[in-house]
Amino acid sequence: MSIATMVALGIERGREAESAETAETAEAQTGHAHADEHFEHAPEGKKAVESAMEKISAFIPSEIIGIYVAGFGILSPESDAGKWWIFGVCFALIPVLIWLNYLGHKKRADATLTVKITIVLLVFAMIAFVAWAAALPGTPFLTFSARATAFGGWAVIILAVIMYRVADLLDIVPKKG
């Protein structure tokens, strides 16, 4: 299952839980259940989140995504502190990997990756990682709000549009695949 699919399912489950709570409250007040019309647009929203997650994750070094997912899978942190440690380690590794990538290009005498572009990619990677991590189920950002995944998903959609346009203007759009 892809990460984008996991996020979409997490958001959908969150909406289903909210819908169930709303339906129970309405049923208790009126004595009968109401259909939730909100889910008529769920497939469109799901596709938008999946597409945005794919676009924004292209700015994050794939090693970071792998380490983050593996950290959660292997360590299974139940405490907020454990989740924040995994997030913090991955966030701290982003500049290291971006710098190593720059040095690799420099060693190969590849002039396409300049310091300026490297800095832009670093900023994009850090911002993208925060939004991406916030949109995932079980995110440490749930410490701040029970709706962190919804806010993260919304941020991912907005940032995917902006970052791709800026990257296109600078001719640094990440390669697919």
Domain ranges of the chain: 3-169
What residues contact residue 167 under an 8 Å CB cut-off, 6+ apart?
A: 59, 124, 173, 174
Contact 149, 10 (CB under 8 A): yes
pLDDT of 18: 53
**Rounded to an integer, what distance in angstroms lies between the CA atom of residue 13 and that of residue 35?**
17
**pLDDT tens digits for the chain (177 residues)?**
333 333 343 444 445 555 555 555 555 554 544 433 333 344 555 566 667 788 888 899 999 999 999 999 999 998 999 999 999 999 999 999 999 988 988 888 877 778 888 899 999 999 999 999 999 999 999 999 999 999 999 999 999 889 988 988 888 877 654
Closest CA to 130 of 60, 54, 55: 60
